[in-house]
Amino acid sequence: MRIVAGMLALTGVLGAQQLDRARLASQAQSFAEQLANLVCTEVLQQKSISYSTRMRIRVGEAALRPIAPKMRERMIRSELGYALRGKDMPVWGEVRKVIDVDGKNVTPPKKARERLAFGLKSDDERARLKLMEEFMKYGLEGLATDYSLTLLLFRFGEIDRMKFEPQGSEFVGADRVNTFAFSRADTEAGVTVFDGKQAVKQPLNGVIWLREKDSMPVKIKLLSVLKQDATSILDEGTVEYVPSKFGSVVAATVNYRRLINGVLMLETRYEYKDYQKFGADAELKFN
């Protein structure tokens, strides 16, 4: 009887946990509408682990000890903005102008923000590509980008392709949030996993946390598992959103992890702050 009562109680909780698709899609749409001319400061911290593949001859006690992995840490501070990429079917993407790398200045902060803003305003696609190529040259391992834009997956026209399953509710601070697992079987909107030089697109799976009173997104997690022979690669990206003064939410943090056969090999944390809008006129003015 206790087991039956517990199951009935759980069924009642999940039954009451309804997903309001229209309100979530409206939140995602408002998020999309604020991206134009939006800039912020991003701090990227990455820790990666690598094992030596070189053959070395060791003797004595050293031969009995396992070879210690190498830990590499990087920190890059940039000005971040958003731009539409592509001509036929444009999609939003992240664009950066680097300020400093591992504490060494590359561009003064004010000038970095101005250069980024001019690049975002320019109709020349090459200006934005140059900014993206510049960021890539700093040799980050397993670079994961565009996670801050995850909420766009739930806009009108896209959310109807999603399958949701209630997972329960919890408190985040003073707010009750409802949790839903989501998936999308087609590969039109998926997670692209880069394994060496090969890009493999995986079906979309994850979890979303929504504030109960207004369906405001609090957190979204994307999951992708790639299996190759005896190797299993798990990519996990978690975005935390906070209310924005521009009418919707903005990304506060992104935590990206890659595990190979259950062992953490790469962890990257992105922090975002000082969001501002610049004017659309010829003279740059930030609000």
**For the sheet containing 163-172, what is the strand order?**
104-105, 91-101, 70-85, 38-50, 263-277, 249-260, 231-243, 217-228, 204-211, 175-184, 163-172
Q: Which is higher by pLDDT, 115 or 55?
A: 115
Average pLDDT of the residues in 2-19 = 51
Does the pTM exceed 0.85? no
Domain ranges, ordered by start, for the chain = 20-52+67-277
Band of pLDDT at residue 132, cut at 50, 70 and 90: confident
The model's pLDDT over 73-106, given as tens digits with 9 standing for 90+, comes to 889 999 999 988 777 778 888 989 999 999 999 9
Task: Say how far apart CA 169 and CA 196 lie, in whole Å.
Answer: 39
Query: Would you state the pLDDT for residue 163?
Result: 92
**80 sits in which H/E element:** strand 70-85
